[in-house]
Amino acid sequence: MNIQLEIGTQRRLSIIYDFSPTKAQKNIYDVAVATLFKLEKERFMEEKRFTKIDEEFLCDNCGNKVEKLGYTSRDHCPKCLYSKHVDINPGDRAESCHGLLEPIGVDLQNKKGYMIVYRCQKCGAIRKNVSARDDDMKKIIKLSANPLSY
């Protein structure tokens, strides 16, 4: 069996079998290769576009002391849901604006769950962040009633 895996601007996956595998063997190989591809894709995304920064901060909107999240990067206040416009790509801290990101709505996505939609109060940019487990669900439900037009 020859497996070719390429991650980058073009994502391709091909499997060439040197023998005639049984259906069960083929399924096992397919699952193993798909898992390998998923892990390699995640590694690539983390290296290129996602920098994990999970740190405590004081919310610039409500003054709440926001604790570390523990399982991914903390990017907004769980109490008021405000964020800060500091990233171009998640965690890179490369954005020069530094305006407050006001939550304006919620977008429900199949794989990511609730995505909080923000508008920067300084430059008007629209951004989305994944909601966290400890977010104020009442505020998320209230935001979900807002029709999104951006």
pLDDT, tens only, 79-124: 999 999 988 877 778 889 999 999 999 988 877 788 999 999 999 9
Q: Which residues pair with 18 in a beta bridge?
A: none
User: The pTM is what?
Assistant: 0.63
Question: In this structure, what token pair is assigned to residue 72?
Answer: 């991914």
Question: In this structure, what token pair is assigned to residue 43?
Answer: 């590694």
How would you label 117-149 residue by residue, b for 16+ Cβ within 10 Å and e otherwise? Answer: bbbbeeeeeebebbbbeebeeebeeebeeeeee
Give the mean model confidence (pLDDT) for residues 28-48.
Answer: 66
Name the maximum alpha-carbon separation found in the chain.
Answer: 64
**pLDDT tens digits, one per residue of 47-67:** 556 677 778 889 999 999 999
Q: Specify the pLDDT at position 81.
A: 96
Q: Specify the pLDDT at position 75.
A: 85
By the 8 A CB rule, do 105 and 144 touch? yes
Higher pLDDT among residues 62 and 9, named by residue: 62
